[in-house]
């Protein structure tokens, strides 16, 4: 592999030489391979030259069809070779990653038509891999034991015994098990409560092996936003523990669908407390030869933790269209949190004395101390004047308390944007009403470069947007009946986008009862691995894909996607996270709800037209469309020349 794809003169500025070559690529090399010259793409390339030359952050808002991925990849790859550090491409989710690296994806195309050997490796999130310990538990369970046993038997031989591995052999990836639904995968996939540091099979774990592999990439490491933010938040802690950070030192970072980074940042900064996990960790101390005072302190803490979580479960309520439960706070709940902190403090004091006696295994002691430290810090946030955002979640682990500090902007500013390096936010939807202020505010940024280029497509001729009269379709069965009428018109070939999984499940239940349901093939998010569902939808031209997370990133050109049905305008849910944002805003609806909805709606609309040959219809349901202000805002984000019509 040549270091640079052009003759490099060390006496001249590197970025200028790279930009000249990239211009040749778009003006000559790619057109010779059959690609069209796109003025919007070339304009974006010259804009990115500024960001890489001056090592600045840039908002690159480029419409569908501009070829923005080619632009940022060429700059990222050449700059990585110049600095001898890989670039990081952080995508909004795993399905976007798969589209970038698939055999016919943009990286493969650049390699083929430019005769480049590109070293691109995946850094997937931990929850995308099998946990060998959870797999053992699943095999011993009553549900689907045979299924999980077959998965176990198909793992590479070195997993079962101490075979030597001759070369990197990825295994255990969520994508390798497309037929598993989300509930089945959750039985064996890694989750936040797994204690990897003390796992005796961690060196044979698919997640660990993949991490060793992607760290050696010369050009590009591709990961999710969640994974990148986990790297940021755990960087110092991993260094303290003698571990390598999740990502190696890198030269630049691109946030593809960058408007979603704030959500990933908030998720990464959360603390998730669970009684069963806490008990499982501290009870290890009782298995050692410890003093009676420490044993009593541990038992008191377990009892207090169990009582607190019973209280939390009792004093929380389900939030519609959200997987979170809102906590009904009271003086009693705060008092029980303080009592748990007091009992943990007693354990910490006893451990200081116990460590001097060397009766507890040093490694076990370290694990317990760090877990107690994390719980103490998370609970201490409730004593601050500016209370944290918190909620309760319910899953197979039982009740969990989730705590999110209100410092996301500050941490992003300090640990991401303060670094002197090129940072690119790439998306078709980064501005609201022509301004980037909303994105800069939620990310805590003081300044940045920015530009917008429109899509080259003729939306006026290629797209129609239809609004069913909302008052006619207020009941669920009415909306389902209207949906089937629309599906009949389009011959299937539709993407139905839902604001929440709850609404998708409601549609599925009602749709299954419809007289015409057998005439169509429906693919529902959550029933299989997402990239597998997308592939099936694309191959079965008349099918319908129902999804919650595919408002952005889905790229299905051709007749397989000829209609996008927006089941409901994607306003944010009334859960604790957005409630906190609204409380901090002077005009919640205009400053929080509306910008969020408009960005997401623009993304959803962008799923329809992917080439100059595509055409189709957008249908937007929702009573809020009767509100003249909302309708005016929606009309404002439609592509130029496209008007609303009523059916």
What pLDDT score was predicted for residue 296? Answer: 93
Each residue's pLDDT tens digit, 21-74: 999 999 999 999 999 899 999 999 999 999 999 999 999 999 988 999 999 999
Q: Does 3 score more than 90 pLDDT?
A: no
Each residue's pLDDT tens digit, 505-535: 999 999 999 999 999 999 999 999 998 999 9
What pLDDT score was predicted for residue 31? Answer: 95
Q: Does 234 score more than 70 pLDDT?
A: yes
Confidence band of 451 (pLDDT split at 50, 70, 90): very high
Q: What is the rounded distance in angstroms from the CA atom of residue 547 to the CA atom of residue 225?
A: 20
Q: Does 622 score more than 90 pLDDT?
A: no
Each residue's pLDDT tens digit, 259-268: 888 888 877 7
In the 8-state DSSP scheme, what is residue 259? G
75-79, 223-227, 236-240, range with the lowest pLDDT: 236-240
H/E element, 235: helix 225-240
Confidence band of 129 (pLDDT split at 50, 70, 90): very high
What pLDDT score was predicted for residue 576? Answer: 76
Q: What mean pLDDT comes out for the span 584-588?
A: 87
In the 8-state DSSP scheme, what is residue 37? P
Q: Does 464 score more than 80 pLDDT?
A: yes
Q: Are 354 and 290 in contact, with CB atoms under 8 Å apart?
A: yes
Q: What is the rounded distance in angstroms from the CA atom of residue 208 to the CA atom of residue 190?
A: 12
Average pLDDT, the chain: 89
* Residue that wins the pLDDT comparison between 202 and 312: 312
Q: What is the dihedral of CA 548, 553, 555, 556, to 10 degrees?
A: 0
- The sign of the CA dihedral 306, 308, 311, 316 is negative
Q: Does 76 score more than 80 pLDDT?
A: yes
The CA-atom distances, in angstroms, between 176 and each of 68, 91, 103, 160, 170 are: 29, 20, 16, 19, 10
Q: Are 187 and 134 in contact, with CB atoms under 8 Å apart?
A: yes
Q: How far is CA 494 from the centre of its chain?
A: 24
Cβ neighbors of 586 (< 8 A, separation 6 or more) are: none
H/E element, 473: none
| Residue 562 φ then ψ, to 5° | -110, -5
* Residue that wins the pLDDT comparison between 137 and 358: 137
Q: Does 395 score more than 80 pLDDT?
A: no
**High-pLDDT (> 90) share of the chain, %:** 58
Neighbour tally for 106: CB within 10 Å: 17
Confidence band of 82 (pLDDT split at 50, 70, 90): very high
What pLDDT score was predicted for residue 1? Answer: 45
Each residue's pLDDT tens digit, 182-206: 999 999 998 877 777 778 788 889 9
Q: What mean pLDDT comes out for the span 301-327?
A: 90
Q: Does 392 score more than 80 pLDDT?
A: yes
Q: What mean pLDDT comes out for the span 452-467?
A: 94
Q: What mean pLDDT comes out for the span 313-322?
A: 85
Query: What is the pTM (predicted TM-score) of this model?
Result: 0.83
What pLDDT score was predicted for residue 164? Answer: 59
């Amino acid at each position: 592999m040549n270091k640079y794809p052009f003759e490099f003169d060390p006496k001249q500025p590197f970025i200028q030489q790279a930009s000249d070559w990239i211009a040749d690529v778009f003006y000559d090399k790619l057109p010779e391979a059959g690609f069209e010259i796109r003025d919007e793409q070339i304009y974006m390339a010259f804009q990115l030259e500024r960001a890489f030359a001056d090592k600045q952050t840039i908002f690159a808002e480029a419409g569908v069809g501009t070829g923005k991925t080619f632009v940022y990849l060429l700059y990222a790859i050449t700059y990585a070779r110049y600095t001898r550090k890989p670039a990081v491409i952080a995508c909004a989710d795993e399905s976007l990653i798969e589209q970038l690296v698939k055999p016919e994806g943009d990286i493969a195309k650049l390699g083929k038509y430019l005769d480049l050997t590109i070293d691109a490796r995946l850094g997937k999130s931990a929850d995308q891999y099998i946990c060998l310990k959870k797999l053992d538990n699943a095999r011993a369970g009553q549900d689907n034991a045979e299924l999980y046993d077959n998965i176990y038997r198909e793992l590479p031989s070195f997993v079962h015994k101490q075979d030597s591995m001759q070369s990197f052999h990825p295994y255990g990836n969520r994508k390798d098990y497309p037929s598993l639904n989300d509930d089945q995968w959750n039985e064996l996939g890694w989750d936040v409560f797994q204690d990897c540091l003390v796992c005796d099979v961690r060196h044979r774990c698919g997640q660990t092996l993949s991490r060793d592999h992607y760290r050696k990439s010369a050009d590009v490491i591709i990961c999710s936003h969640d994974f990148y933010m986990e790297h940021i938040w755990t960087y110092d802690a991993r260094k303290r523990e003698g571990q390598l950070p999740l990502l190696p030192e890198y030269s630049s970072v691109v946030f593809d669908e960058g408007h979603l980074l704030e959500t990933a940042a908030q998720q990464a900064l959360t603390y998730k407390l669970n009684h069963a996990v806490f008990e499982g960790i501290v009870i290890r101390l009782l298995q050692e030869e410890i003093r009676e005072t420490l044993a009593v302190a541990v038992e008191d803490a377990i009892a207090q933790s169990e009582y607190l979580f019973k209280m939390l479960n009792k004093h929380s309520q389900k939030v519609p269209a959200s997987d979170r439960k809102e906590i009904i706070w009271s003086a009693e709940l705060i008092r029980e949190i303080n009592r748990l902190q007091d009992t943990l403090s007693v354990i910490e004091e006893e451990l200081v004395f116990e460590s001097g006696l060397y009766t507890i295994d040093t490694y076990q002691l370290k694990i317990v101390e760090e877990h107690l430290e994390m719980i103490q810090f998370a609970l201490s946030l409730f004593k601050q004047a500016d209370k944290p955002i918190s909620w309760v979640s319910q899953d197979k682990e039982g009740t969990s308390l989730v705590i999110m500090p209100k410092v996301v902007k500050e941490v992003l500013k300090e640990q991401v944007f303060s670094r002197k390096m090129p940072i690119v936010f790439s998306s078709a939807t980064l501005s609201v009403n022509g301004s980037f202020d909303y994105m800069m505010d939620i990310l805590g940024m003081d300044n940045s470069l920015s530009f917008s280029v429109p899509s080259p497509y003729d939306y006026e001729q290629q797209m129609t947007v239809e609004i069913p009269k909302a008052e006619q379709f207020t009941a669920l069965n009415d909306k389902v009946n209207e949906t089937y009428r629309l599906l009949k018109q389009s011959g299937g070939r539709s993407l139905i986008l839902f604001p929440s999984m709850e609404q998708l499940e409601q549609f599925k239940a009602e749709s299954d009862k419809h007289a015409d349901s057998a005439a169509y093939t429906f693919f529902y998010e959550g029933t299989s691995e997402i990239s597998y569902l997308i592939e099936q939808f694309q191959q079965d031209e008349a099918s319908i894909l129902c999804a919650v997370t595919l408002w952005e990133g889905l790229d299905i050109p051709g007749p397989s996607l000829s209609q996008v049905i927006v089941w409901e305008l994607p306003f944010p849910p009334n859960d604790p996270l957005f409630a906190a944002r609204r409380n901090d805003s002077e005009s919640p609806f205009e400053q929080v709800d509306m910008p969020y909805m408009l960005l997401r709606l623009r993304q959803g609309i962008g799923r329809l037209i992917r080439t100059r040959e595509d055409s189709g219809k957008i249908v937007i349901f929702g009573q809020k469309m009767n509100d003249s202000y909302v309708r005016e805002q929606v009309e404002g984000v439609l592509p130029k020349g496209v008007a609303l019509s009523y059916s």
